[in-house]
Structure 1
Amino acid sequence: MMLLKYLEIGFVAELSWWWVLAPFALAVAWWAWADASGYTKRKAMEKMDLKKKNRLEKQRESLGIKPRRR
């Protein structure tokens, strides 16, 4: 959109620069919130835990150990 606005192509040329640059401001706000709230760290830990679980299950399967039932 920014390139279309700069080159004055299509309906974007008629939009205000505020509408064109608003997604960038929203992205910065999202990243600031995600870092401040711990969302990013929590998601990274969940991903690592899933990898660990899958690795352990694969090792148990290769050893012929049946998976635990809960």
Structure 2
Amino acid sequence: MYLLGLAIVLTLLKVAEIGPVAGWSWWIILSVYGAAVAWWAWADASGYTKRKAMEKMDQRKKDRLERQKQAMTPGQRRR
């Protein structure tokens, strides 16, 4: 996602002809888009995306269980 953001910013700078990016070749900017596509292809093929989603889901589950345990402790009631 960071590569896509960088590519968009570089494209805007190139089109607006701002700073040193105005003098760069379009191939440099297009290569950043290519790197983003390559990253997404690798992440999906290797299972990286699925693994990160599972880790996030497991963390949410642990947090929810911890909140439930805290709610069950004696002496602490919510109103």
Given candidates 18, 28, 33, the residue that maps to 1:9 is 18
User: How far off its partner does 1:31 sit?
Assistant: 0.2
Aligned counterpart, 1:25: 34
**2:66 aligned with 1:57:** yes
Which ranges of structure 1 fall in alignment gaps of 5 or more residues? 66-70
Q: Please, what is the CA RMSD of the aligned residues?
A: 1.5
User: How far off its partner does 1:14 sit?
Assistant: 1.6
The one-letter amino acid paired with 1:16 is S
Report the number of matched residues: 65
The one-letter amino acid paired with 2:60 is K
| Deviant stretches of 4+, over 6 Å | none
What per-residue deviation string (whole Å, max 9, x for no partner) do you get for residues 5-61 of structure 1? 234333222211111211111000000000000000000000000000110111011
Percent identity between matched residues is 63
TM-score (norm 2): 0.72
Distance 2:14 2:66 in 1: 53
Q: Which has the higher contact order (CA 8 A, sep 6+)?
A: 2
